[in-house]
Amino acid sequence: MYNNIKNGGLYVNILIIHNFYAGYGGENNIVKEQYKLLKNMNHNVFMFKRHNDQIKNKNIVYVFKNLFFKKLNQEIKKIIKEFKPDIAHVHNVFPLISSQIYNILWQYKIPIIQTVHNYRFACPNGIMFKNGKICDKCLSSNNFFECVYNKCYNNSIFYSIWYA
């Protein structure tokens, strides 16, 4: 591990994992720039990505089908076996990758770096803000029922359940 030699220097196999948001934003830009920077430093970089545009205009059957993530799990395991990452850098896993990715990386003993760009792990809408006020109900209640009850994600019970 970490002793790969290329162009006279050491390089690392880096697996970047990110679920891109629809539209342009800082988090998406950071991931793209990180990818380019690491490639320019002669590291082997593979980006495992999903994009929220994949669920735009999709019906409820598509959404439920993708909640189980079996195909995704098989895909990431195949990538791990072929690419043999030395380390994984995880950015955003919601909604199309799922937190199951951590179990898979752990199973293959791949060290994980997690960049937290928002409050998604403590608040399903990611911003801890609702109706013009700071909201810490999910954090203080230690569950996401408040998010579902208050339709915090996209003003939708369905999406709030999905993100919770």
pLDDT tens profile 114-135: 999 887 777 777 788 888 888 8
Chain centroid to CA 58 = 20
Q: State if pTM tops 0.85.
A: no
Domains (range + CATH), the chain: 4-117 (3.40.50.2000), 119-164 (no CATH)
Widest distance between CA atoms in the chain: 58
CA–CA distance, 84 with 46 (Å, rounded to integer): 10
- CA 20, CA 79: separation in Å to the nearest integer? 19
- How far apart are alpha carbons 91 and 108 in whole angstroms? 19
pLDDT, tens digit (0-9, with 9 covering 90-100), for 67-108:
556 788 899 999 999 999 999 999 999 888 888 899 999 999
Q: How far apart are CA 117 and CA 98, in angstroms?
A: 16
